[in-house]
Chain A
Amino acid sequence: MRIFRRDKQRAPLIRNWALRRQGQDALPLTLNARRVYILPTPAGWTFALLIAVIFIAGMNYGNGLALLFAFWLAGFAGVAMVQTQRSLAGTAFTMASSRPVFAGEAANWRFDIRGRTALGDLRLDLERDAPSPTIEPVESAEGSLHLQQPVPRRGRIRLPVMRISCTAPFGLFRTWTWVNLDASVLVYPKPAGNLRVPEAPGHDTGSAQIEHGMDELAWLRDFREGDSPRQIAWKAYARGAPLLVREYRGAAARRREFDFNALTGLDTEQRLSQLTRWVVDAAARGESWVLRLPGNDPVEGSGGEHRDRCLARLALYGTSGQGA
């Protein structure tokens, strides 16, 4: 960690040069030898000092055995350097992806990697010019490495430049390269806001304008991610039951209308957050809804696919990737 931080002082210059040189990376990406850099680690410098001491002693005392020892260790270091370089060169990224997340959470990147060296010896770091929160790479055994990247804002967030490094097999050298993969994660707006869920006007269920709190309770079902806390059966939970969610009769048949323009008195991001909250809740309840965003055709429907489409629209609203 210390090494990494010290590198930051001079890294941008070299890094920017390297990135300009190697350009954008496309998957699958095999790291060839030309872009893999190598320097001794502190342990490596210690080893070099050791060789120097032995060499000088052997030279001075005319002791062939000590000289032989020094040359042998120097050869060892030379072979170790080639081996270290080869433990990274030839490593291939076959996939880099993260499932969409909500703003404020962390994107969970997964990289499928094939190489010569054990994945546990590889190390991934996110590189940024600005100081970034500490990111611990998690090691996994099945050919993939995982990396958490906090994403504070919605939109299509690119995978930042990463540094992949390795000191195997002897820890005497560190070999590394920068990877600028063409991969991005879709970040939905953070679900927030507690305005009343609007009803579609002139609904034909016969119980229009009735708040769902006054609906007839139909059953309780298991909690699913995205369910509104207001619908959780807290009383049952307090009695020791698992988290259950109240379902109301007729809810599935109800069609809600989520309109960006109807949310007055809020700024754009607040409106998107409120809409996200409603979409998530409605999808969890199995309702159908229509989402109206300025500049977009209204979309109507229900279910997971509809939810994802709506969330994607909300994520990309106002960005260049709109409508994707």
Chain B
Amino acid sequence: MNAVIARRPMLMLLAAFAAACLLHIDRVPAWCTVVAAAALAWRWLAFRGRAALPNKVLRVGIAMLLMFAVLVTFRTIGGLAAGSALLVVMGAAKLLETRTPRDGVVLATVSLVLVLAAALDRQGLARLPLYFATGWLALAGIAALGNVRAAHSAKRAFLQSGRTALYAIPLAALCFMLVPRLPGALWAMPGAGRSATGLSDEMSPGSISELSISDEIAFRVRFDGPPPPPAQRYWRGPVLHDFDGYTWRHGQRFVPTMDQELVSPPLRYHVMLEPHGSRYLFVLDTFEKLDGIAYNQFFDGEVQAWRRITGPTSYDAISHVEARSTGELPVAGRRLDTHLPEARNPRSAALARDMRSASVSDADYARRVMRYFQDGGFEYTLTPPLLDYDSVDDLLFNTRLGFCGHFASAFATLMRAAGVPARVVTGYQGGIWNPIGGYYTVRQSDAHAWVEVWLEDQGWTRFDPTGVVSPERLQRGAADASAAALANAGTLLGEASWLRGLRDAWEAAGGWWQEQIVDFNRAKQVDLLKLMGLERIGDAGMALLLLAGGVLWALLLMALLKGRDPRARRDALARVWEHFLQLLRRRGVEVADHDGPDAIRRRAQRQLPEAADDIDRLAVDYARLRFGGGNPDDARELAALKTRLSAISRATASRRRR
């Protein structure tokens, strides 16, 4: 293949690669995108004859340099982010030596692999059209390289590849349903190497002056029975024990697990977690067990998955809203959760001592502090002022403005200052019912922090100071609770119910897509087969079914292609005439394409005198039906023609050649 790529295919290949790079624009370092754009521009200028392509030495040098740069940036070339970056820059390097159609195919393949990398990274329904369009572009590029018609018309290239891709869909669906899935992964997903978008295992409320309300979905929950009321939907995540006066941290934890007495009936629910990059799983209050995921449970009720949540993950959980810890709090636990840094937040410590001495018990003291938050002139805001080094003192005695993190931090400090064990729990609170999907959607904006306090006889008890500062926060979520947000969102979302309906529908579609397509696993495959009444089919049966379906698809495909064939659409009359001509040829009568029916008739009669009559009638009838105003679709006439044709065949049988 010495041929070079023509203009149109080249343009399409460049466009496909550019689109594939755009899919990664917010995932790879900016310099990778710049390199790709520069290479695209260079290749196009070279194609137009305005620049020279680099020679081989320079090309190899550029490729090595780029690979080295990726290695330096990521310190690895494994992993999804580094792999994508490597693909982008190596594709760019390949651009500089793309001359022949075979290079072009390689470039199209790189584009398709980039689509795969993007699909491994993010699978949202909204991104599906992007992946599809980029894939189509790359396939159209392959078509433009592959045949002359597509090379001369982009429309044809898109039509050809689009049609082929369309015909492929039934097989893809069939394989998707029937190819057996692995029960687990062969090797772990390469670390995505990006920070968690939701909760972190640190909390410094004083350092945040504006809490951005992210509308991103954290997870979806479907309850197997009646759901608990919104004010009781506390989704526990990271539990923070270690406080230095300003920042709450996870801390070192070697505390024995305590037994728990489960009071309320079990709540069963299914959580569909969006990837957040860390290991945290979210459960409702005291959980009994999780299914469908490998996890560790800690003494403080925190749950972590064995692997980072880099892809959509789902699990079944059983929880109890009410539970009681039995027995004494271990010494190590008491020490951990009553620790406060020396000489920090002195005013708060004094306040705590005063209030505790006025209370009859720890429980009474906790309720007193809650009243303090309720009546102390505190206000809920998403844009609090920055706090001092002694953040709790500053909040309680100066600013009195904050969000959940501020109040939880202050409440826990007041508890600990009085020697009452307390810990900060972060997670989500609430969730909005999606009537179309039949589940609750919990968003990043539902992120919350509250406090659990150890009370004798009751065990760990939840206190949510934010709830008394701003009761709406628990009913409606952070976005609505913030006064400023209320003014805007009220008109945007609160009033426009059709808009909310639209959003629900879109989310439900996204949820369905996530759960049924992206997360389609062995268990769901079994469910699907059960639904079709094929639960006992087994792997061999599935293979057989797949084979049968594949054959059926192939047959349909053949019929479809044949139907599109212009020659097959010729009418029945033309077919009879064609058979007649074939018969004449077999009997040694020369028939050329340009011969008219009359010339053929005369020659045939001369050379096959034994069938002269039938030949005459057949040719005359044909001419009448075809040209003389007869109905060429008349079944009786056609049958008569066919009878005559077989009569001619019989009469001249002795002339059969060979």
Could you tell me which A residues sit within 8 Å of B by CB distance?
A: 1-2, 42-43, 46-47, 50, 53-54, 57, 59-69, 71-76, 78-80, 82-83, 86, 90, 94, 116-118, 120-121, 167-172
Chain A neighbourhood of B120, CB < 8 A: 57, 61, 63, 66
B481 within 8 A of A: no
How far in angstroms is the closest Cβ of chain B from A153? 32
Contact with A along B140-172 (1 / 0, CB 8 A): 001101111110000000001100110111111
Q: Are B123 and A65 in contact (CB under 8 A)?
A: yes
- Find out whether the CB atom of A50 lies under 8 angstroms from the CB atom of B112: yes
Complex A-B, nearest 4 residue pairs according to Cβ-Cβ distance, in ascending order? A75-B168, A171-B146, A168-B147, A75-B171
Q: Complex formed: what's the CA distance from A317 to B51 in Å?
A: 62
B147 & A121 in contact (Cβ 8 Å cutoff): yes
- Among listed B346-354, B504-512, B513-521, interface-contacting one: B513-521
| One of A57, A86, A168 near B561 (C-beta < 8 A) | A86
A169 pairs with B147, CB closer than 8 A = yes
Cα A65 to Cα B186 with chains together (Å): 18
Q: Is B101 an interface residue (CB 8 A)?
A: yes
The verdict on A43 contacting B176 (CB below 8 Å), with A65-B123, A66-B119 known, is no
Query: Which residues of A sit under 8 angstroms from B179, Cβ to Cβ?
Result: 67, 71
B135 at the interface (CB under 8 A from A): yes
- What total of chain B residues lie within 8 Å of the partner, measured CB to CB? 59
CB distance from A43 to the nearest CB of B (A): 4
Q: Select one of A47, A83, A86, A117 contacting B164, CB under 8 A.
A: A83
Answer whether A65 and B518 are a contact pair too, CB < 8 Å, given A74-B171, A121-B148.
yes
B1 contacts the other chain (CB 8 A): yes
Other than the given A57-B116, A75-B167, A76-B164, 18 more pairs (CB < 8 A) read A1-B2, A46-B109, A54-B112, A54-B116, A57-B120, A60-B185, A62-B519, A63-B119, A64-B176, A66-B119, A67-B520, A71-B179, A75-B170, A83-B164, A86-B561, A168-B146, A170-B143, A171-B147
Residue on A nearest B522 in the bound complex, by CB: A62
Minimum CB–CB distance from B142 to chain A (whole Å) comes to 5
Q: In the complex, what residues of A have CB within 8 A of residue B115's CB?
A: 69
Q: How far is the CB of B599 from chain A (nearest CB, A)?
A: 17
Q: List 17 A-B contacts (CB under 8 A).
A: A43-B102, A46-B105, A47-B109, A50-B113, A54-B112, A54-B113, A62-B311, A63-B119, A63-B120, A63-B123, A66-B116, A67-B179, A68-B172, A74-B168, A79-B168, A82-B558, A118-B147
Hey, which bits of chain B sit against chain A, CB under 8 A?
1-2, 101-102, 105-106, 109, 112-113, 115-116, 119-120, 123, 128, 131, 135, 139, 142-143, 145-150, 160-161, 164-165, 167-173, 175-176, 179, 181-182, 185-187, 189, 311, 517-521, 554, 557-558, 561, 565, 567, 593
Chain A residues positioned under 8 Å from B565 (CB to CB): 116
Residues of B within 8 A of A2 (CB): 1
Given A64-B520, A71-B172, A80-B164, decide whether A46 and B147 contact each other with a Cβ distance below 8 A: no
For the complex, give the distance between the alpha carbons of A120 and B131 in Å.
33
Q: Smallest CB–CB gap between A51 and chain B, Å?
A: 9
- Tell me which residues across on chain B come within 8 A of A75, comparing CB atoms: 167-172, 175
Residues of B within 8 A of A86 (CB): 561
B115 to chain A: closest residue by CB: A69
A71–B517 contact, CB under 8 A? Answer: no
Which residue of A has the minimal Cβ distance to B183? A62
Known A60-B185, A60-B187, A74-B172: A68·B146 in contact at CB below 8 Å: no
Task: Check A53–B182 contact: CB distance below 8 A.
Answer: no
How many A-B residue pairs have C-beta atoms within 8 angstroms? Tell me: 155
Task: Determine if B109 and A171 form an interchain contact, defined as CB atoms under 8 angstroms apart.
Answer: no
Contact A170:B164 (CB < 8 A) given known A53-B116, A118-B148: yes
Q: A281 → chain B, closest Cβ, in Å?
A: 37
Most buried by A among B146, B179, B593: B146
Task: Looking at the assembled complex, report how far the CB atom of A57 sits from the nearest CB atom of chain B, in whole angstroms.
Answer: 6
Closest approach, in angstroms, between the C-beta of A7 and any C-beta of chain B?
Answer: 15
Q: Please report the C-alpha to C-alpha distance between residue A245 and residue B132 in the assembled complex, in whole angstroms.
A: 71
Contact between A61 and B148, CB atoms less than 8 A apart: no
User: What is the distance, in angstroms, from B311's C-beta to the closest C-beta of chain A?
Assistant: 6
The reply to whether B119 and A69 contact each other, CB–CB distance below 8 Å, is: yes
On chain A, the residues within 8 Å of B181 by CB distance are 59, 62
- Report chain A residues within 8 Å CB of B113: 50, 53-54
Candidates A63, A67, A82, A121; contact of B557 at CB < 8 Å: A82
A98 to B: closest C-beta gap in Å: 19
Flag if A79 contacts B172 (CB, 8 Å).
no
Complex Cα–Cα for A167 and B148 (A)? 11
Q: How far is the CA of A211 from the CA of B343 in the complex (A)?
A: 136
> Which of B123, B164, B186 lies in contact with A79, CB distance below 8 A?
B164
> How long is the Cα–Cα vector from A76 to B131 in the complex, in angstroms?
16
Q: Which of A59, A73, A121, A169 has the most CB of B within 10 A?
A: A169
When chains A and B are docked, how far (Å) is the Cα of A171 from the Cα of B13?
15
Determine the chain B residues whose CB is within 8 A of the CB of A78 once the complex forms: 168, 171, 554, 557
Measured CA separation A169–B561 after assembly (Å):
14
Q: Which residues of chain A come closer than 8 Å to B171, judged between CB atoms?
A: 71, 74-75, 78
Chain B residues lying within 8 Å of A121, measured Cβ to Cβ, are 147-149
Give the CA-CA distance A104 to B102 in the complex, in Å: 37
Chain B, Cβ-Cβ closest to A173: B146
Q: Is the CB of B148 within 8 A of A68?
A: no
Complex-state Cα separation, A75 to B161, whole angstroms: 12
CB-based contact B105/A43 at 8 Å:
yes
Q: Contacts of A94 on B, CB cut-off 8 Å?
A: 593
Measured between beta carbons, the chain A residues less than 8 angstroms from B160 are 169
| Contact present for A61 and B185 (CB under 8 Å) | yes
Complex contact B168–A120 (CB within 8 A) = no
Measured CB to CB, the closest approach of chain A to B330, in angstroms, equals: 39
Task: Output the least CB separation between A122 and chain B (Å).
Answer: 10
Please give the distance in Å from A104's CB to the nearest CB on chain B.
Answer: 28
Min CB distance, B90 to chain A, in Å?
Answer: 15
Q: Which of A46, A53, A72, A169 contacts B165 (CB 8 A)?
A: A72
